[in-house]
Amino acid sequence: MTSLFDSYRLGGLALPNRVVMAPMTRVRAAAGGLATPSMAAYYAQRATAGLIVSEGVQPNVVGQSNPGTPGLHTDEQVASWRPVTGAVHASGGRIFAQIMHGGRVSHHETTGLRPVGPSEVTAVGDVFTPSGPQPAPPPRALDAAEVPVQARSYAEAARRAIDAGFDGVELHGANGYLISQFLSSNANLRTDGYGGSVAGRIRFAVEAMAATVDAIGAARTGIRLSPGATFWGVRESDVPELYTALLTELARLEPAYVHLEATADEDVLTALRRVWPGTLVVNPTLPMGAKQTGRDDADRWLGLGADLVSFGRAFIANPDLVERLRGGLPIAPADEATYYQGGDAGYLTYPAYSYAA
């Protein structure tokens, strides 16, 4: 049986294990969306993961969802990321940048711009702003000429990611952000070629992936998806059909991987495993749900056909998570109050496991 600690070949990368550090927003970037020395230390501490996927990185100004998040759309941002990727590589790790366009999940106080989306349908919930949580504002619907521009923004950020030293990129197609909004049957009310039918609703995702593959190569490109998820009020009326069609089209591009969140029933996810011919990463537990992913969850999904398993919150308080999983050691709890507060407390202050003398 496949073990979580078996090696794996992912494109041009040799992964020493099948543990993936999932992308997690930590809002520690400096002004201007710059990566920081603390971010370099944070990711380097976790470099024993087979693969690290960074926090969401905005591809342009209008794509920024939260204050304090980093970007990859200026030369200064690229330069700021090089010490981060260099620190991970020096520690023996591998790191992909997650390219995240927030779409309608944003606020003009954060970006200075009105958020955009496939349609003028407001997200459900409060968004973070520099002055605190506020109700999500109505977005501006992208016009027909703007949609391909936003699809290409992922590719442009991917080129910058490679220049910054990342090993590849993961497009954030999940959790109610822009790609997910286009996939949705209630956030996307378009009547042109980017809406309506399943073929129309998957078009934006496919074009963003195709542009990115063309920019940096298929072996360096992955995508994260959340079938059936309802984050920020998105709904998908035909999940099996929608994601079967999407994975069929993505398979033609031969990307490095698809990263599925456990946001649909297990039978739906295992059916998608049968559809998808390439590398599959699975995050076995609902993001921000009551349960964190553990060793049993990982082993179960490896048995169900996953090639790699991603762990999110467990990596926050356990920089040595791979060794804790390998040795059956206790998984330390994280302090939720420090998730987004900024500073090094609850960021760089979690120690590796201490063995009794």
**Residues with active-site annotation:** 177
Write the DSSP symbol of residue 314: G
Coil/strand/helix, residue 239? helix
Helical H runs in 94-145?
108-111
Three-state SS for 67-121 is: CCCCECCCHHHHHHHHHHHHHHHHCCCCEEEEECCCCCCCCHHHHCCCCEECCCC
Q: In the structure encoding, which two tokens stand for residue 271, read together?
A: 């059916």
Q: For residue 1, which amino acid is it?
A: M
Three-state SS for 259-284 is: EEECCCCHHHHHHHHHHCCCCEEEEC
Dihedral angle over CA of 272, 207, 103, 177, nearest 10: 10
Sign for the CA dihedral angle at 154, 123, 346, 16 comes to negative
Residue 86 CA to residue 164 CA, distance in Å, equals 9
Are 171 and 145 in contact, with CB atoms under 8 Å apart?
Answer: no
